[in-house]
């Protein structure tokens, strides 16, 4: 069986246990609703409130868009499969799902790097912040993040779906991802693995280097602040971003830096639920609950609605 004869794949989904399907469907439906309301609400809040028309909130709004999109690529199909006997996905549909999930995932990684640089400028050069973080520079950084994310995913998608797939067409996962796809291929995947390591490494490392350099300078600047209150305020402005970075990269490293055994693939499913479904739900909560301006904007919006 070669690539041209494969017209569809079968996803194993989260579970084969019939007793768990309905509870899981209800649970993840609530997660998806919370994700949509949280991220879309965050975007509209940023657009509607003039006090949030600043670089930091522009990046947060784009992070919400990426999280909403990433979740929407995976969750609706997963919810449908929980209620279906057959969990089929077409060859083209699988390629599209992987492409958009990889695009938004890579873009999120790059956005976190851009946001670290924004925090560096805000803390280390507060008087020059508005001048330095101009609307043109912010737009350029956003375009670079999306361009890098989509290009990275495009290369992986083309490389993966040009492979030959032999024997079983059952993907041992709840969405189309590289490790279970490579497991089905009868082609030599060594070049794919090299490309994956190089490009994913470039995206991840460029973001991580920007984050590490930014926070190294931030820490050095904060140490020089004499008052404890001043140091606390400076650290507090970074707390949400540090939390988001730790969660994303912690799960990413765990997922990709261990052997591709069958047990590891099962672990990947559990971790994939976290970074593809739960993180998009948590990010707006992390940023809104720890940001005074966002909370004030939300309170103002609620008061306006009540009137």
pLDDT of residue 17: 85
| Contact call for residues 132 and 121 (beta carbons, < 8 A) | yes
Report the alpha-carbon distance of residue 140 to residue 130 in Å, rounded: 16
| Contact call for residues 184 and 167 (beta carbons, < 8 A) | yes
pLDDT of residue 65: 95
With b for 16 or more beta-carbon neighbours within 10 A and e for fewer, the 164-199 pattern comes to: ebeeebebbbbbbbbbbbbbbbeeebeebeebbeeb
| Contact call for residues 91 and 161 (beta carbons, < 8 A) | yes
| Contact call for residues 159 and 181 (beta carbons, < 8 A) | no
State the helix-helix crossing angle for 228-256 and 190-223, rounded to 10 degrees. 170
CA proximity to 42, closest of 285, 306, 305: 285
**In angstroms, what CA-CA distances link 125 with 52, 81, 154, 195, 237?**
20, 51, 37, 38, 14
pLDDT of residue 28: 94
CATH code, domain carrying 86:
1.20.1070.10
Report the alpha-carbon distance of residue 142 to residue 280 in Å, rounded: 19
pLDDT of residue 263: 45
CA proximity to 63, closest of 293, 299, 285: 285
pLDDT of residue 258: 53
Total domains present in the chain = 1
**DSSP structure class, residue 165:** B
| Contact call for residues 133 and 118 (beta carbons, < 8 A) | yes
Mark the ranges of the chain whose per-residue pLDDT is less than 50: 1-4, 259, 261-263, 302, 304-306
Report the alpha-carbon distance of residue 112 to residue 210 in Å, rounded: 9
pLDDT of residue 3: 45
As a dihedral over the C-alpha atoms of residue 204, residue 273, residue 284, residue 201, rounded to 10 degrees, the angle is: 0
CA proximity to 80, closest of 92, 93, 67: 93
Phi first, then psi, for residue 170 (nearest 5°) are -90, 115
CA proximity to 200, closest of 183, 184, 178: 178
pTM of the model: 0.87
Q: Which residues contact 286 (CB under 8 A, 6 or more apart)?
A: 240, 243, 244
N- to C-terminal Cα separation, the chain: 65
Token pair for residue 290?
Answer: 């720890």
Host H or E run for residue 9: strand 8-11
Could you list the residue range(s) of the whole structural domain that residue 80 is in? Answer: 3-306
């Amino acid at each position: 069986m070669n690539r041209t004869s494969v017209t569809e794949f079968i996803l194993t989904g989260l579970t084969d246990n019939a007793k768990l399907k309905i509870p899981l469907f209800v649970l993840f439906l609530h997660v998806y609703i919370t994700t949509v309301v949280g991220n879309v609400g965050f975007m509209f809040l940023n657009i509607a409130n003039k006090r949030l028309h600043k670089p930091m909130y522009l990046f947060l709004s784009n992070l919400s868009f990426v999280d909403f999109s990433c979740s929407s690529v995976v969750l609706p199909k997963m919810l449908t499969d929980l209620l279906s006997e057959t969990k089929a996905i077409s060859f083209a549909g699988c390629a599209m799902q992987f492409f958009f999930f990889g695009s938004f995932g890579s873009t999120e990684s790059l956005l976190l790097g851009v946001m670290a640089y924004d925090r560096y400028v805000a803390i280390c050069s507060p008087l020059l912040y508005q001048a330095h973080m101009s609307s043109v520079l912010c737009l350029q950084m956003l375009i670079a993040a999306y361009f890098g994310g989509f290009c990275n995913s495009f290369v992986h998608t083309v490389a993966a779906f040009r492979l030959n797939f032999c024997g079983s067409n059952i993907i041992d996962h709840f969405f189309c991802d590289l490790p279970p796809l490579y497991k089905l291929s009868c082609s030599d995947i060594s070049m794919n693995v090299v490309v994956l390591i190089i490009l994913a490494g470039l995206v991840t490392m460029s973001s991580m280097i920007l984050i590490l350099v930014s926070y190294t300078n931030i820490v050095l600047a904060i140490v020089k602040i004499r008052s404890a209150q001043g140091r606390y305020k400076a650290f507090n402005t970074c707390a949400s971003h540090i939390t988001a970075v730790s969660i994303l990269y912690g799960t990413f490293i765990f997922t990709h830096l261990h052997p591709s055994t069958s047990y590891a693939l099962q672990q990947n499913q559990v971790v994939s639920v976290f970074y593809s479904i739960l993180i998009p739900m948590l990010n707006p909560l992390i940023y809104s609950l720890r940001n005074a301006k966002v909370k004030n904007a939300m309170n103002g919006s609620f008061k306006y609605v009540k009137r």
